[in-house]
Chains A and B, each alone.
Chain A
C-alpha cells in the first residue's frame, strides 16, 4: 500500500477525495473539490460570541479559507468562560476583530475579514456575496433579520420552483445551558426561520398590575424596581443595564420591596439575571452545536455526506438526548414564499405605495424603505440617504422600476401594531395593471 505524503489536509482528504455511497447527490470527490472549497467558497459567520468563536475555529479547520465575521459587541469579562479566543486583556475590544485575528494567528492560510457593526448596517449586496451564511446568535430578532435577507434573494421561476442560483443556504445554531439546536435552512426547500417561528415562543412578561399590586416572587420585586420605580424616581433618564450604579440602585430598591412584602430571594446576581435576561451558557454546549453547524456547512457545500434534515436538538440535562425533526415549510410564509402580491395602477406614486403598505392586512408596515434590484428608491435613514431619495416619493413607482410589468422589490420597515412592532424585511411582487406581459404572472401562487 502506498504511504500518503504528509499533508495538512491528511484527515479531511479522506472525506473529500474518496468516493462513498452515503453521500449527497452532487458529490464529486477529488483534489479539485478540496481546492475549489478553499478558493471559491466564502462563508459568513454571524456573531462572534460563544458560538461564533467556535464556528470560526471549526470552519478554519474544515477546509474553508475565506471567512467573514460580523458582530457589533465588545468583549466582556463574563464571556471568558466560553468564548475561548478572548483573554482578560481583550476586554473592551470588538469581538469580531479579536476573534478573526486569533484564528488567523493559529491556522495558517485562513483569511478572516471582521466586521464590527450591526447586521442591519450592511447593504443587502454584502450578504449576497457569500455562498453560505452560518448563524451563531442569541436573539430571535437577529435570526429573523438574516433569514429575511437570505430569503429575500430567493426568486421563483414561472412554475413557482425556487431558482437554484438565487438560493442562499443558512446553518443556524443556538444554545441555552446544557441544551441546544442546530438546523439547516435552504430557502424554498426547507422551512425558513419564519415558517417555524413558533419554536421560539416570546418571552413571558409579568403583568404590570402584578408588579405594582401583588408581588409574590423575587423577580416581581426586581421588575418593579426596574420598570416602575426607576421611571418614578429618574424621570426621563433611562436605565442603563451596563452601568453598575444603575444596577445597584435597582437591586437595593428590589431588596426594600421584598422586605416590605416578606418575599425571599433577591440577590444582586439574580437582579442582573432578571433585568438583562441573562441566558446561562457553557463552553461544552457551544462547542457541540457549533461543530455540528460547521459539519453541515461542509456537507452542504461539498456533498461529501447526507445533510441534516433539518432540525437537530441536543439536551444533556437528564442523560443525553438528541433528536432530528423534519419540519415542513409554511406554504404561505411571507418571508420564503414567492412574496406578497401587490397589484398597482401605473400612476401610483412611491409615496402612495408606501402608505398602502401600512394598511395592508398581512404587512402592516410603517417607516418603510424601498429597494429595487439593489437600487434605493426611498430610504428612511441615514438622513443623507433620505434626502437623496426623497424626491422619488412623488414619482410613479412604475417609472422608478424601469417600466417593467412586474418585478420583485424589497421593503424594510417596522411590522406590527402598537408596542409590538419589530424591524423586518419583506419581499413583495409588484404587478402593474394594464401592461403587456401581465398574463404570465402566476396569480394562483400569490401569497
Chain B
C-alpha cells in the first residue's frame, strides 16, 4: 500500500493535512443511490472520507444500466444499495462502506433518530414533503444536510445547516494586510530609516514598494492637512509623485509601487462583512457558545482596544522587488507584530473562556493562531429551513426573479421542480414519466404550477409554455451527465462543509442544462 499522503497529494495542496483529517473523520449518509447519489459519493470516496452509508430500497433495473456507472449487467435484480456500495468500495479501500437496503422515505418516517449518527446526510431525488421532514430531523440532531436532485436537463443543490462558520475561507483575491496608510509604530520607524532620495542607485532600486508607499503616503498627508488622496485627480497626482521618484526606467520596485498605489487609498479598519460578524448577537458569548464565537468575542475586544480598529496583523507578505536583507527584515517586523497581536488575542480568549465557565485552555494555541491569521476573512453562513422557504411568503424575491431576464429560466425551473412533486402527489407519477398523452400532462402541469405560484402570491404569467413543455418532455429522467454535474457540485459543497475551509454556496442552486445559465436563488 502506497503512503496515503502520496495518493492524496493533489488535494492536500488545497485543503492541507487538517482538511484531510476532517474528511477522514467524517461519516456520510447517502439517501437514494441513482446516478446523482452515486456520483456524489464517488467523488467523496476518492477524496477519502471516513465512512459512507448507502440507503436505497430499490433493485437494479435495466434502465439503471444506462445512467449509472456504479451498477453493471450482472447486478440487475439485486439490491441497488448493495451493488453501488460494492463498486464504490473498489475506489478506495481506506473508506468504510456500508449499505442499508431500505427506502429512505420509509426511514424518514419510521426511524428519524437513525440520522443522528452521521456528520452529514446527502439526500438525493427526494420529493418535497420528505425533504421537509428530513430537514427538521437533521436540524434538530445538528447533522449537516445537502439536497441534490437531477431532473431532465435541470436540477438543484441546496445546503441546509443552521450555521456554518469558516475561519479558513481562503479567497482567491484578497487585499494584502499591508497597513500602508496606517503603519504600526515599529514599521513606521523602520520606514523612517529609508531615504527615497538616496544617491546610491543599488539601494534605490532595492527599496521594497511597501516602504516607498508608506513614506509617500505620509509625505502626501503632511502636505494635505493629514488627508490621503481621494479624488481621481488626487490619486493620479499621487501616482505621478511615485513616478517622479524613479531615477531609472528599470526600477521594478517603483513600477510595483505605482501598480499597488490603490492600496494606499483603501479604507482603514475592518471590512463591513467582518463588522457584521462582530456585531452578531452570537458574539455575546455564554457557556454554550461554540469556539468560533468565543474567538469572535475576543476579536471584538481586540479591535476595540489593542487593535485600534484593526484586526490582528496577518503574518505573511507578498513577494516584492527588494534586496534579500530588506525583505527578510520587513517580514521579521511583521511576524513580530503578528506574534504580539496573537499573544494579546490568546490572553483575551483565555479570559473569556474563564468568564463563561469553561476551561481557559480548551481552545488550542494553534487554533487561535489560525484564527488570527484569517481574522479578516471570517465567514458565517446560515441556511433557512426548507419548510420556511417553501411555506412563508417570498413573493417579493420570487416576483423579482420572475421578471428578471437573466433569472427567468432558472426561477421557472425552480417553480416547476416544486410543481412536479405536487403533480406526483396528485397523479401518482411525474408529468411525462410514461409515454402517452403528452398534451394532457402539459396542461395538468401548467395548472399545478400556476396554482403553486398563486399560493406563493405570484402571477403565473411569467412561466413560459416552452419551459412547461420542456419539463414534461424530461419525464423525471435522470440523465447521467446531468447527475454527474449535480452530484459533482454536491460533493464539492460537502467537502467545503466538512473541511470547514472555503465558502459553501448560499441559497438554492438551480441548474439549467439548456444553455448553462444556471443561477443561485436567494430567498
Determine if A215 is an interface residue (Cβ-Cβ < 8 Å). Answer: yes
B411 to chain A, nearest CB (A): 16
| Residue in A11, A214, A306, A316 whose CB lies within 8 Å of B477 | A11
Q: How far is the CA of A2 from the CA of B437 in the complex (A)?
A: 9
Chain B residues near A107 (CB-CB < 8 A):
65, 69, 72
Determine if A288 is an interface residue (Cβ-Cβ < 8 Å). Answer: yes
CB of A1 within 8 A of CB of B492, answer no
- Nearest residue, chain A, Cβ from B491: A284
CB of A283 within 8 A of CB of B46, answer yes
Q: How far is the CA of A306 from the CA of B512 in the complex (A)?
A: 11
Known contacts A21-B469, A77-B6, A77-B7; is A319 also within 8 Å of B506 by CB?
yes
| Residue in B7, B63, B67, B320 whose CB lies within 8 Å of A78 | B7
Which of B131-139, B169-177, B178-186 interfaces with chain A?
B169-177
Q: How far is the CA of A3 from the CA of B475 in the complex (A)?
A: 13
CB of A2 within 8 A of CB of B514, answer no
CB of A20 within 8 A of CB of B469, answer yes
CB of B515 within 8 A of CB of A308, answer yes
Chain A residues near B496 (CB-CB < 8 A):
316
Query: Residue-by-residue, is B351-364 near A (CB-CB < 8 Å gives 1, otherwise 0)?
Result: 00000000000000
CB of A318 within 8 A of CB of B477, answer no
Q: How far is the CA of A108 from the CA of B437 in the complex (A)?
A: 32
CB of B488 within 8 A of CB of A288, answer yes
CB of A11 within 8 A of CB of B478, answer yes
A277 to chain B, nearest CB (A): 12
Determine if B513 is an interface residue (Cβ-Cβ < 8 Å). Answer: yes
CB of A216 within 8 A of CB of B515, answer no
Determine if A82 is an interface residue (Cβ-Cβ < 8 Å). Answer: yes
Determine if A341 is an interface residue (Cβ-Cβ < 8 Å). Answer: no
Which of B104-112, B284-292, B322-330 interfaces with chain A?
B322-330
CB of A3 within 8 A of CB of B466, answer no
CB of B324 within 8 A of CB of A215, answer yes
Known contacts A4-B434, A312-B516; is A318 also within 8 Å of B480 by CB?
no
CB of B324 within 8 A of CB of A322, answer no
CB of A82 within 8 A of CB of B10, answer yes
CB of B495 within 8 A of CB of A284, answer yes
Chain B residues near A291 (CB-CB < 8 A):
480-485, 488
The interface residues of chain A, by DSSP majority, are classed as loop
B93 to chain A, nearest CB (A): 9
| Residue in B324, B328, B491, B518 whose CB lies within 8 Å of A287 | B491
CB of B6 within 8 A of CB of A287, answer no
- Nearest residue, chain B, Cβ from A176: B14
CB of A306 within 8 A of CB of B495, answer no
Known contacts A11-B478, A298-B481; is A81 also within 8 Å of B13 by CB?
no
Q: How far is the CA of A152 from the CA of B337 in the complex (A)?
A: 60
Query: Residue-by-residue, is A164-180 near B (CB-CB < 8 Å gives 1, otherwise 0)?
Result: 00000000000001100
| Residue in B68, B170, B477, B518 whose CB lies within 8 Å of A14 | B477
| Residue in B327, B504, B505, B516 whose CB lies within 8 Å of A324 | B516
Determine if B487 is an interface residue (Cβ-Cβ < 8 Å). Answer: yes
CB of B485 within 8 A of CB of A320, answer no
Known contacts A262-B328, A280-B14, A316-B502; is A81 also within 8 Å of B8 by CB?
yes
A/B pair count, beta carbons within 8 Å: 252
Q: How far is the CA of A350 from the CA of B332 in the complex (A)?
A: 65
Determine if B394 is an interface residue (Cβ-Cβ < 8 Å). Answer: no
CB of B520 within 8 A of CB of A319, answer yes
Chain A residues near B520 (CB-CB < 8 A):
319-320
Chain A residues near B484 (CB-CB < 8 A):
54, 58, 287-288, 290-291, 294
CB of A282 within 8 A of CB of B14, answer yes
| Residue in A263, A307, A319 whose CB lies within 8 Å of B328 | A263
Determine if A305 is an interface residue (Cβ-Cβ < 8 Å). Answer: yes
CB of A320 within 8 A of CB of B505, answer yes
Q: How far is the CA of A232 from the CA of B46 in the complex (A)?
A: 42
Determine if B435 is an interface residue (Cβ-Cβ < 8 Å). Answer: yes
Residues 360-414 of A at the B interface (beta carbon under 8 Å): none
Chain B residues near A57 (CB-CB < 8 A):
69
Determine if A106 is an interface residue (Cβ-Cβ < 8 Å). Answer: yes
Residues 295-353 of A at the B interface (beta carbon under 8 Å): 295, 298, 305-309, 312, 316-320, 322, 324
Q: How far is the CA of A216 from the CA of B476 in the complex (A)?
A: 58
Determine if B61 is an interface residue (Cβ-Cβ < 8 Å). Answer: yes
Determine if B9 is an interface residue (Cβ-Cβ < 8 Å). Answer: yes
Most buried by B among A82, A210, A318: A318
Query: Residue-by-residue, is B437-477 near A (CB-CB < 8 Å gives 1, otherwise 0)?
Result: 11000000000000000000000000001110110011101
| Residue in B6, B10, B479 whose CB lies within 8 Å of A11 | B479
B contacts, CB < 8 Å to A: 1-2, 6-14, 35, 39, 42-43, 46-48, 61-63, 65-69, 72-73, 90-91, 152-153, 169-172, 206, 319-324, 327-328, 429, 432, 434-438, 465-467, 469-470, 473-475, 477-485, 487-489, 491-493, 495-496, 502-506, 509, 513-518, 520
Contacts A18-B473, A78-B7, A107-B69 aside, 14 further interface pairs with beta carbons under 8 A come to A14-B474, A15-B152, A20-B470, A82-B11, A107-B72, A280-B10, A281-B11, A283-B46, A286-B488, A291-B483, A291-B484, A306-B514, A309-B515, A316-B492
**A-B pairs, 7 with minimum CB distance:** A10-B63, A1-B436, A291-B484, A287-B488, A288-B488, A320-B505, A61-B480
